[in-house]
Structure 1
Amino acid sequence: MFNKLFGKPKAKGKDAKANVKTVATALSSMERINENLDMLEKKEQILQRKIAAELAKATEYSKAKNKRAAINCLKKKKLFEAQAEQLAAYQLRLHDQMILLEGAKATTDTVDALRSSAVAMKAIQKQTKIDDVDRTMEDISEQQDNMKQIQDALTGPVGVASDFDEDELEAELEELEGTDLDEQLHESMSNVPYAQEPIMSSPEAAVPIPAPSKRTPPEKTPVHDRSEDEELAALQKEMAL
């Protein structure tokens, strides 16, 4: 039963033999303790039945007014009770020893597992050296640098595009952007109606604006052919009509 519970130890060399012997001794001791516990429990059960029987006899003798026989039965009951208490103490001691053996077995198994783990770790460290790790990391770094150089070569300009001056191209682009902005401003100013432009620049130039007449105003000359003064004068003339 204990072999199935704890299993068989696994080790190598002299330590393995010593471990096997120790485990076998512990298992044998636990089996003997288990057998003794079974035997003591059976004896205690027998004593408990005897105690009950003597108590029943003492009760019958007491009813029959046989005091002497009743006292003898009680004495026997006391003896059986003392034996039962002694057997209970033995069982308690055996249970205590069983617990100690199980704890020692668990400790032995733990130490054996740690020892096996240490041996395996040493073997792994022997196979993996720090120089090999450094060499491997250097190879990885070199491969990454080579790959970056290859990617830069593939994405760089080729042929005629490689002769272009980036600074010159940027300057030309800024010039184009400035020209487009000026043209946009000029077009936006030319599309604004004259009625929305301020008519006077100072209070002295203020002219009363009469109600618009029903006469059709003369056609306006193109805006681009007039100066600012001519435009103001033409507008005042039209308003006066």
Structure 2
Amino acid sequence: MFTRIFGKPKQETSALGTLDKLNETLEMLEKKEKVLLKKAAAEVERAKEFTRAKNKRAAIQCLKRKRLYEQQIEQLGNFQLRIHDQMIMLEGAKATTETVDALRTGAAAMKAMQKATNIDDVDKTMDEINEQTENMKQIQEALSAPIGAAADFDEDELEAELEELEGAELEEQLMQPTIQAPAPPVRLPGGKQPVKVQDDDDDDELAALQREMAL
């Protein structure tokens, strides 16, 4: 917001302007390098033509010009490397400056917050919170305590009654007859039916005995 109103800081503006200038110079050097590469390639082709025409002197002159172009290309490459190095250093310095400014701003904000917040106020607030928590705990305990007729019940008597119910339930389970599950049918080969082990009379006696035990 302040940047929009008052503009960018002078140091940041200067760094951005320098980076823009370096980028422009780098683009210019790259264009010159491309031109020199084309000229060097053209001299090679001309040297081949003079060689086919048996004009050795002219071919050598073409190769000399090619060497000169190559020297300029190498020089331009060194210039580009230095510019890249300068740009990297400048971008690193810019990032470092921005980081330091951000840390400085954060430290100032923390200092201002510490001044605005008094330790006595913090202690007082924590005491109030603890007091309110304790009051709420007491209210919950009061609400959960039994009142009226429920408050007169004896816990020991209730536990004794529960033990009697458990004993009666166990005795009732022991008195119930044990019913054996019928044995699975035996399959004989050839489709023959299995022979019954007990007669119908035995089944009737067993059922009568179970009724008597249940009574």
Bin for the TM-score computed over the shorter chain:
0.5 to 0.7
Task: Give 5+ residue unaligned stretches, structure 2.
Answer: 172-215
Shift of 1:157: 6.9
1:81 and 2:75 matched? no
Partners of 2:83 and 2:99 in 1: how far apart?
A: 24
Partners of 1:36 and 1:91 in 2: how far apart?
A: 9
Shift of 1:52: 1.1
Partner of 2:9: 20
Partner of 1:61: 50
Partner of 1:205: none
- Encode CA deviations 1:75-108: one digit per residue, 9 max, x unaligned: 1111111011101110111111111111111111
The CA RMSD measured in Å over matched residues stands at 3.6
TM-score by length of 2: 0.63
Partner of 1:41: 30
Shift of 1:54: 1.2
1:91 and 2:80 matched? yes
Partner of 2:102: 113
TM-score by length of 1: 0.57
Partners of 2:27 and 2:45 in 1: how far apart?
A: 28
Q: Rg: which structure is higher? A: 1
Shift of 1:40: 0.6
Q: Is the 8 A contact 1:9 1:23 kept in 2?
A: no
Partners of 2:99 and 2:76 in 1: how far apart?
A: 35
Partner of 2:121: 132
Partner of 1:142: 131
The count of aligned residue pairs is: 164
Q: 1:65 to 1:149 in 2, by over 3 A?
A: closer
1:122 and 2:114 matched? no
Partners of 1:127 and 1:24 in 2: how far apart?
A: 35
- Encode CA deviations 1:185-217: one digit per residue, 9 max, x unaligned: xxx9xxxxxxxxxxxxxxxxxxxxxxxxxxxxx
Partners of 1:161 and 1:101 in 2: how far apart?
A: 83
Partners of 2:147 and 2:66 in 1: how far apart?
A: 115
